[in-house]
Chains A and B, each alone.
Chain A
């Protein structure tokens, strides 16, 4: 995109061309940081639900001044010059091809009058893109109904995954059900359409390093540095970047935390039951000889009477290893962004030995976390022991 930005600068300044971006990613705010970094001054529209239906990006299209599509897949500025030099006559009659999911009132009316599947999907999209938290809940419920009614339509699964992830990332949310359903819905959609690369990317974004075609958000650190060097403040990202999204694609596992945070089992156990711990994996069935990405979610009960203590150090996950999986002990760590964060995710790749048989493997795990009791109470480090179940499927044949 920076190539087009540079190549069209003069044309845009002279009013001879407009540049419009349509971005296909779950978190458009990340593209906003990218735009700040690249000093982009043209409008960028967000299509996290893949309403365009495009299967690959990047893809450049030329639209003439009458709104007619003239070229798909421009690759070089010279092609653009040629198109700008051509004379395109106005059509005798322009057949509009317009969809407006922002008009929620009109969509509700149409959907209420016995609207078909497309109308109800459009309503769900509008609610997600242009509504608030109540509309987001409504969209999740609506897409869930549509998925149950039309189980063979992977578009619904993909959008349901987007909706659940949006809710998971929203302030005060971070619930296990949303995390689990986003991963499962995307995996289902991507499996149904292997050539839909934008859907595949969503799975790869949250999947293990071995699955990645490239790193997804490794650029963020460099962007922040360069923006700060210009004397600007980098835009903040509302949704935390997971380890999976920062990882470089490699056929090896990154051991984020090589030390057991409580090797002698000296820390007091948290027996309050106020921290809900769940584990989720992507893919849902790991293949022997490959790895799965594991998400361990720590859900803090806001009523429990304590908060995280980010200043006291990271929250650490420790996996004790498993002989049958060929897994050595290792861990992962993260630091809460705020004392009141509800859902805290620790994520890491888990390699599975080539010899591992299909089945469910129980891995002993522990989490160590610094907390503070609310209302001037003590701050201390606690440990919770639990079990992570990793599901292993059949060995994948080499293609």
Chain B
């Protein structure tokens, strides 16, 4: 059973990684302003805790790891 699960995951891995790879390497990100070497495209957005609107630029002076994600 474990063998078949491993085999299935091995076969599916390239399929699941394709979309991410396509966006990471593609020109689409640059079109959106996400280009290495340029300013991070900063958008003021609401905070999920209801606090004052925030942005990544607020953290200038320190390196920032920006995690784009969803809870699902």
Contacts and interface: CB of A to CB of B under 8 A. Distances in A.
A and B: bona fide binding partners = yes
A19 B69 CA distance: 13
A95 B71 CA distance: 33
Contacts of A217: 71-72
B71 A99 contact: no
B14 interface: no
Instruction: Give the interface size class of chain B.
Output: 35 or more
A170 interface: no
Interface string B14-35: 0000011011100011001111
Contacts of B62: 15-18, 65
A25 B71 CA distance: 8
B59 A20 contact: yes
B48 A29 contact: yes
B5 interface: no
Contacts of A195: 19, 22
A279 interface: no
B40 A67 contact: yes
B20 A46 contact: no
A100 interface: yes
Interface string B42-61: 11111111010111110111
A100 B68 CA distance: 19
Given A54-B23, A56-B20, A56-B23, A201 B65 contact: no
Interface residues of A, number: 76
Contacts of A205: 72
B65 A98 contact: no
Contact of A59 (B48, B68, B72): B68
B46 A24 contact: no
Nearest to B21: A73
Given A31-B70, A216-B72, A8 B37 contact: no
Contacts of A65: 60-63
B39 A52 contact: no
B48 A69 contact: no
Given A18-B62, A45-B55, A54-B23, A67 B39 contact: yes
A43 interface: yes
A71 to B, nearest CB: 7
Contact of B69 (A43, A58, A62): A58
Nearest to A103: B44
A278 interface: no
B11 interface: no
Given A21-B69, A52-B43, A217-B72, A71 B36 contact: yes
Interface in A85-116: 94-103
Contact of B40 (A44, A56, A61): A61
A361 interface: no
B24 to A, nearest CB: 4
A22 B70 CA distance: 8
A68 B32 CA distance: 15
B43 A51 contact: yes
Nearest to A91: B39
Contact of A52 (B32, B57, B67, B72): B32
Given A56-B23, A72-B29, A25 B65 contact: no
B7 interface: no
18 contacts: A1-B67, A19-B65, A20-B64, A20-B66, A22-B67, A22-B68, A23-B71, A62-B65, A62-B66, A63-B63, A67-B39, A67-B57, A68-B37, A69-B38, A83-B63, A94-B39, A99-B42, A198-B70
Interface of B: 19-20, 22-24, 28-29, 32-49, 51, 53-57, 59-72
Given A16-B63, A57-B70, A72-B29, 19 more contacts: A16-B62, A17-B62, A18-B62, A19-B64, A43-B54, A44-B47, A47-B45, A52-B68, A56-B22, A61-B66, A65-B63, A67-B40, A69-B40, A70-B37, A72-B24, A73-B20, A97-B42, A99-B42, A215-B72
